[in-house]
A and B are shown apart, each in its own frame.
Chain A
Amino acid sequence: MHRIKSPQKNNKYKVKFLPFSSTVSVSSGTSILDAARKVDLFLKTTCGGIGTCGDCVVRIKSGTYQSKLSSALSDELVRQGYALACQTEVNDNLTIQLPQFQELSIKSVSESKFFEEHKNSISGIYEINPDVKSISLRVPPPTLEDNYSDLKRLEREFRKKLAIEDLNCEYSVLRKLAHVVREEKGKITIILFKQRQSWTIIDVKEAKAAKNIYGVACDIGTTTVVLYLVELTSGKILSTASSYNQQLKCGEDVISRINYAQKPGRLQELHKLIVMTVNNLIDKATQSAKISTADIYSASISGNTTMIHLFLNLEPRYIREEPYVPTFNQVPIILSRDLGLKMNHEGRVYCGPAVGSYVGSDITAGLLCTPLVRDSKKISLFIDAGTNGELVVGNSDWLMTCACSAGPAFEGSGIKCGMPATEGAIEQLKIKNNGDPEYKVINGSQPKGLCGSGLVDLLAELFIHGYIDRHGKFNVQKAKDRLIEDETGTAFLIEKANNSYWGKDLIITERDISNLIRTKGAVFSACSLLLKNAGLTFDKIDAFYIAGGFGQHLNIENSIRIGLLPDLKRNKFHYIGNSSLLGAYLILLSDKNREMVNEISRKMTYIELNTEPSYMNEYTGALFLPHTKMELFPSVKQILNS
């Protein structure tokens, strides 16, 4: 029997996209852009794939290729292996890195001075008393007289050290026990997990094999995921790892993810993607700290309600449907092996409590890092501006919270030259009198784009210097020398192509400005409305804690000038960075914080802004620089008048 080989088969090539490990087989001649789309990786293309915008840049790690020439990519970048996906055809097996999705080093976001300086005044307790402990024992060998079982003898020795009544033991420990207690003259180390008054032995090792024990604290954001690897005995953070949430290819915001999960098999897919994201970070962190993943016994996770649902493989659809009720508020302790996390297979995973569908453990945990819940007299406001914005107002007596769909503009998404606060991002910016912007880039390289704090600065400077009007439209007369026409309309030039990392103009368009104004408007109006609901005004607020992915150098003055934050004494504001992650870290360090965060979640009253009739009015009022009611911003008025 002879079969003719299909001729097409020879012309199919495999293309692998990093960091997702998505592989697709395509016919020769397919553009990389189309190949990426086949595996649902939608690269940005402002020009529609004709090679002029340079947005779809990729880096080809292996395989031979040839690209059409394009002015949108500098020769230097071409030499480094970069190519435009729309201008490059597949004619070989290729491995391609997608810079739009590449791993990040979000150092500047997670490192917060505030936490270091206020460790002892925050609501959470800064102490090293984790619920996983290791204890060294010497279990005497059995004799004819002392013929207690191995476990009984172990318990007896253990109780000499700690008077614990309720002590349990995992099956996997029993399986090792006989062997381990007979090595090294009974010198062993046991790992215990404590839940309330009950202790469970989750691992046993020969003393000489025992090393330190570790935990991870992880913030699962809609856009980015950040993880600390922590030495549990000292509380020391050994390494930090971060990356985009690999679910990004399934939708940018939580609603899109919930939507995506509605088709059969998709929930499982989203679940796997987020577990994979976390596992990659664990790998990265443990490799850099040179430890074994088997020595990680505890994980503390925080994230918004949808992310935690997906992480736990729970049906998310009821989060978005009226009356917006999630599956859980408090999650039971879960075994790492049930989730497939790269930890010790008896490792315990704790997810923080959610208040409602749109206020999750990123917020409850975040509150631990602020003094908000500690004080019964002062009233404070906490704002977490991520892909969604969440707000909390209150004190130790009461807490009110709400969420608003701010949009991810301050995380750099949805803005043409926006990016997260990572290497290459402009994090601070000023416009000089001659109109030239002066800026600082994270890690000092050539700028790739602007992160949240840079965008806040840019917007404020454009406004204060009169390059845009209060509606965010360019003042053509004033700005004409720096305005260029782009496919998306008129844009202000921040940096010319030859000085930028990607070799293309860094610009901000009127559309970007509208987007930023919408985002700041959503945050500000949600704040005013939340306060109104509580019967308060801004001047009654003693402190503002601002969290989120803006970047380390969020300029409070400029945030006020654009009307993102209210015009109050500047020393009331504190930028606290990624409080969700820090909160997860505090919970990892002490089980008292776990109780406290549960207590916080029970105290919170959730306000649904969607059903609040005056929301639209507050919102349109905030869609102006700094606000339609200038009297709310006296200091900005003064600057404009002078």
Chain B
Amino acid sequence: MPLSGLDIFKLLPKTNCGDCGVPTCMAFAMKLAQKKAELSECPHASEEAKETLGAASEPPVRLVKIGKAKPLEIGNETVMFRHEKTFFHQTGIALQLRTSEDEEQLLSKIKEIENYKVERVGEELKADLFFISHDSEEKDVFLKTLQLVKQNSTKGIILDCPDKEALKEGLDWLKDEQPAIFLKEEVTDKDIELAKNHNASLVLTAYSFDDLARQSEKAKQAGVNDLILNLASKNAGLQLQHNTIMRRSALKKNFKSFGYPLFTFIQGENEFDFLAKASLFLCKYDSIIVLPRFNKAMLYTLFTLRQNIYTDPQKPIQVDPKVYPIGEPSPESPVFVTTNFSLTYFIVSGEIENSGISAHLVVCDTEGQSVLTAWAAGKFVGEKIAAFIKDIKLEQQVKTRKLIIPGFVSQISGDLEESLPGWEVIVGCQEAADIASFVKTVKLT
């Protein structure tokens, strides 16, 4: 049970001395409860406080890192549902490379995957890992493939290599790369030894909870604590149940053997089936999914889903501040203005569209705040809106000089008109739901 602010406050000195950088002990206690501060920032904390708070702060799901330069971090999750807090470390997406492929083909594939990136809402999205499956007979081919990947990519690596000799040489060669070793079979002492000596994490595979728990316990006892769990399942529904049960055991029952990130190699009938499964496991608790093929449309879809699911629900999501066309606006179509809080944008744009008219929707930068909040904070006021409209050169894009502002900020109409000579500012309705009826009552063109 996490401690509440008040629980923690009772453990603090209650002097409001401010030495921790926060004005009151209560404020500091609340920051501790939200994990936004460390107890060590309070120079006067008692031993009792240190002990109690220390026990409450151990992560129930271990944080595991793969890769060197910018390692992929997975795990350290604390909730079953994103709305309870947030999911902290987004699912890593790995692409499979087979050593049986022709070298030239492999090289071009590696380069293509390495160079593939796409931007969405200001974030650069790309694949995280290579999953290298050694399915040829030749040890050298395996080492050659590693070499190709290392020379051409900075992504982290998961090694799927049944030939333990080849694996060892590969690991020697990848020293300091923090790779992961994928085990298809039961974990052996040899695997544990390899992982320990090469600072690698282990992906454990099993077909039952008991088996997986036993393997995880064994690895941990032998000193490998960077584990990733793969419970093979017969269909998507079962896998969802397995993943849920393991995550729940770790979070709610403090079952340490399952307190690690989860893994799935996506298998399916066709490209559509792949995506259906990958989408489901991305939502329900997989920290790594491996895709057998490179497909831009699929990656872009999964990147977008990942961005949606892993975005912090406690932070307002912003849309890019700019002019959005709604319907098929002509230069004479009216201009609506709103803030860049994404929900506001979605609802306003949807309602304008539903009203059947076409319009330009100017979305101002309010740092993701909604209309009234942004207005109260001085971010959605006449001067700033006018400056933005000038900035984006709206006057050159449209002929209309009618600007509709949200009804809740009717107060700014005077200032806005003053700062935007030549424009007529129309005070719109308060609720987006009323846009359809509002557009009928005023002459907009």
Q: Report which A residues bind B (CB closer than 8 A).
A: 251, 255-256, 259, 317, 320-322, 324, 397-400, 405, 533-536, 602-607, 610, 613-614
Cross-chain contact B378 with A321 (CB below 8 angstroms) = yes
Q: Which of B6, B316, B376 contacts A535 (CB 8 A)?
A: B6
Cross-chain contact A251 with B5 (CB below 8 angstroms) = no
B167 within 8 A of A: no
Cross-chain contact A259 with B411 (CB below 8 angstroms) = yes
Q: Which of A324, A397, A536, A614 contacts B14 (CB 8 A)?
A: A397
- Total contacts A-B at CB 8 Å: 60
Q: Which of B368-397 contact A (CB under 8 A)?
A: 369, 372-373, 375-378, 381
CA distance A604 to B22 in the complex (A): 12
CA distance A408 to B197 in the complex (A): 69
Q: Which of B9-28 contact A (CB under 8 A)?
A: 9, 14, 16, 23-27
13 contacts between A and B (CB under 8 A): A256-B411, A259-B381, A397-B9, A398-B24, A398-B25, A399-B26, A533-B30, A534-B4, A534-B6, A535-B33, A602-B24, A605-B23, A605-B27
Cross-chain contact B372 with A405 (CB below 8 angstroms) = yes
B445 within 8 A of A: no
Cross-chain contact B373 with A610 (CB below 8 angstroms) = yes
Cross-chain contact A398 with B314 (CB below 8 angstroms) = no
Write the nearest CB–CB distance from A377 to chain B, whole angstroms.
13
CA distance A398 to B24 in the complex (A): 9
CA distance A399 to B373 in the complex (A): 25
B7 within 8 A of A: yes
Which residues of B have CB within 8 Å of A405?
372, 376
Cross-chain contact A535 with B7 (CB below 8 angstroms) = yes
Cross-chain contact A251 with B377 (CB below 8 angstroms) = no
Given A259-B415, A533-B5, 10 more contacts at CB 8 Å?
A: A259-B411, A397-B14, A398-B24, A405-B376, A534-B6, A535-B6, A602-B16, A602-B23, A605-B23, A610-B376
Cross-chain contact A255 with B376 (CB below 8 angstroms) = yes
Cross-chain contact B5 with A255 (CB below 8 angstroms) = no
CA distance A399 to B27 in the complex (A): 10
Cross-chain contact B7 with A400 (CB below 8 angstroms) = no
CA distance A534 to B8 in the complex (A): 10
> Nearest 4 pairs between A and B by C-beta?
A535-B4, A613-B314, A605-B26, A535-B6
Which residues of B have CB within 8 Å of A259?
381, 411, 415
Q: Which of A251, A255, A317, A398 contacts B26 (CB 8 A)?
A: A398
Cross-chain contact A605 with B24 (CB below 8 angstroms) = yes
Which residues of A have CB within 8 Å of B14?
397-398
Q: Which of A322, A536, A605, A606 contacts B377 (CB 8 A)?
A: A322
Write the nearest CB–CB distance from A11 to chain B, whole angstroms.
29
Write the nearest CB–CB distance from B10 to chain A, whole angstroms.
9
Write the nearest CB–CB distance from A634 to chain B, whole angstroms.
25
Write the nearest CB–CB distance from A454 to chain B, whole angstroms.
26
Write the nearest CB–CB distance from A384 to chain B, whole angstroms.
19
Which residues of A have CB within 8 Å of B415?
259
Q: Which residue of chain A is the closest to B381 with respect to CB atoms?
A: A259
CA distance A75 to B43 in the complex (A): 76
Q: Which of B16, B375, B376, B377 contacts A603 (CB 8 A)?
A: B16
CA distance A536 to B5 in the complex (A): 9
Q: Which of B24-44 contact A (CB under 8 A)?
A: 24-27, 30, 33
Cross-chain contact A251 with B33 (CB below 8 angstroms) = no
B356 within 8 A of A: no
Which residues of A have CB within 8 Å of B162?
none
Write the nearest CB–CB distance from B379 to chain A, whole angstroms.
8
Which residues of A have CB within 8 Å of B377?
320-322, 324, 610
Cross-chain contact B376 with A320 (CB below 8 angstroms) = yes
Which size class do B's interface residues fall under? Answer: 20 to 34
Cross-chain contact A613 with B33 (CB below 8 angstroms) = no
B350 within 8 A of A: no
CA distance A324 to B379 in the complex (A): 13
Most buried by A among B5, B25, B376: B376
B190 within 8 A of A: no
Write the nearest CB–CB distance from B273 to chain A, whole angstroms.
36
Which residues of B have CB within 8 Å of A610?
369, 373, 376-377
Cross-chain contact B4 with A320 (CB below 8 angstroms) = no
Which residues of A have CB within 8 Å of B9?
397-398
Write the nearest CB–CB distance from A318 to chain B, whole angstroms.
9
Which residues of A have CB within 8 Å of B316?
613
B440 within 8 A of A: no
Write the nearest CB–CB distance from A132 to chain B, whole angstroms.
31
Write the nearest CB–CB distance from B433 to chain A, whole angstroms.
13
Most buried by B among A397, A398, A604: A398
Q: Which of B302-352 contact A (CB under 8 A)?
A: 313-316
Write the nearest CB–CB distance from B426 to chain A, whole angstroms.
16
Which residues of A have CB within 8 Å of B375?
255
Which residues of A have CB within 8 Å of B5?
533-535
Write the nearest CB–CB distance from A301 to chain B, whole angstroms.
24
Q: Which residue of chain B is the closest to A319 with respect to CB atoms?
A: B378
Most buried by B among A317, A400, A534, A535: A535
Q: Which residue of chain B is the closest to A258 with respect to CB atoms?
A: B378
Which residues of B have CB within 8 Å of A321?
377-378
Q: Which residue of chain A is the closest to B9 with respect to CB atoms?
A: A398
Q: Which residue of chain A is the closest to B343 with respect to CB atoms?
A: A616
Most buried by A among B25, B377, B415: B377
Which residues of A have CB within 8 Å of B369?
610
CA distance A602 to B377 in the complex (A): 25
CA distance A399 to B6 in the complex (A): 11
Write the nearest CB–CB distance from A34 to chain B, whole angstroms.
17
Q: Which residue of chain B is the closest to A398 with respect to CB atoms?
A: B26
Q: Which residue of chain A is the closest to B5 with respect to CB atoms?
A: A535
Write the nearest CB–CB distance from B17 to chain A, whole angstroms.
11
Q: Which residue of chain B is the closest to A263 with respect to CB atoms?
A: B415
Q: Which residue of chain A is the closest to B23 with respect to CB atoms?
A: A605
CA distance A607 to B14 in the complex (A): 18
Cross-chain contact A613 with B315 (CB below 8 angstroms) = yes
CA distance A130 to B9 in the complex (A): 36
Q: Which of B244-264 contact A (CB under 8 A)?
A: none
Write the nearest CB–CB distance from B11 to chain A, whole angstroms.
13
Which residues of B have CB within 8 Å of A606?
27
CA distance A507 to B88 in the complex (A): 53
Most buried by A among B4, B5, B313: B5
Which residues of B have CB within 8 Å of A533?
5, 30
CA distance A536 to B6 in the complex (A): 8
CA distance A167 to B314 in the complex (A): 58
Most buried by B among A400, A405, A605: A605
Write the nearest CB–CB distance from B419 to chain A, whole angstroms.
12
CA distance A603 to B415 in the complex (A): 40
Cross-chain contact B376 with A400 (CB below 8 angstroms) = no
Which residues of A have CB within 8 Å of B6?
534-536
CA distance A251 to B411 in the complex (A): 9
Known contacts A535-B33, A605-B23; A320/B378 CB under 8 A: yes
Write the nearest CB–CB distance from B31 to chain A, whole angstroms.
10
Write the nearest CB–CB distance from A343 to chain B, whole angstroms.
34
Q: Which residue of chain A is the closest to B7 with respect to CB atoms?
A: A535
Write the nearest CB–CB distance from B235 to chain A, whole angstroms.
35
Which residues of B have CB within 8 Å of A613?
313-316
Which residues of B have CB within 8 Å of A324?
377
CA distance A259 to B380 in the complex (A): 12
Q: Which residue of chain A is the closest to B18 with respect to CB atoms?
A: A602
CA distance A286 to B7 in the complex (A): 52
CA distance A497 to B421 in the complex (A): 45
Which residues of A have CB within 8 Å of B381?
259
Write the nearest CB–CB distance from B375 to chain A, whole angstroms.
7
Q: Which residue of chain B is the closest to A324 with respect to CB atoms?
A: B377
CA distance A358 to B411 in the complex (A): 20
Which residues of A have CB within 8 Å of B26?
398-400, 534, 605
CA distance A613 to B5 in the complex (A): 17
Q: Which residue of chain A is the closest to B418 with respect to CB atoms?
A: A263
Which residues of B have CB within 8 Å of A536?
6
Write the nearest CB–CB distance from B360 to chain A, whole angstroms.
27
Which residues of B have CB within 8 Å of A255?
375-376
Which residues of B have CB within 8 Å of A607?
30
